[in-house]
Amino acid sequence: MVLPLFDGIGAAKEGLMRISWEEYALQLAETGAARSEDPFERVGACVLRGDYSVAGIGYNGAPSGITIDWSDRDRRRERVVHAEVNALRYIRPNEGFLLACTLMPCQDCLKLAAANGIEKIVFREVYSKDGSAVSLAKEFGIELEQLPN
């Protein structure tokens, strides 16, 4: 969603538009994903507070101090820390309200988001390996929205 820019006194500036807060957070998540070493799936996540300030940014990768053999896709999947976990790790419960992810969260990350009081999750791509996230989001009262590329 693109919103009009305002001139400071409430009038929209002619022809100038700006991105929504959801898109802003998702673009920050995409920047975070660029830090990932994972050659199969680079994922980023961003958490916004209620005042739209950034509470955390994360990307998928190895746990601190651990080396992963990235050439073995299945073995790396067992060891990688998800972007959502890294984005949520330093925030207090209920500090964030929006989680933006480049890939729809898996069920474990969705449960973590719910435990942290996240009210809305936006994402770019659907995670096809775990179809339970949609039903869990509904059950937990978390709004789930896919944003277009």
Residues with a known catalytic role: 84
Report how far residue 46's alpha carbon sits from residue 98's, in angstroms, rounded to the nearest whole number.
8
Report how far apart the first and last C-alpha atoms of the chain are (Å, whole number): 11
Three-state DSSP at 75 gives helix
DSSP type of residue 128: T
Query: Under a CB-based contact definition with an 8 Å cutoff, are residues 124 and 53 in contact?
Result: no
Report how far residue 99's alpha carbon sits from residue 78's, in angstroms, rounded to the nearest whole number.
23
Hey, which residues does 58 pair with through a beta bridge?
A: 45
Three-state DSSP at 53 gives coil
Report how far residue 48's alpha carbon sits from residue 99's, in angstroms, rounded to the nearest whole number.
7
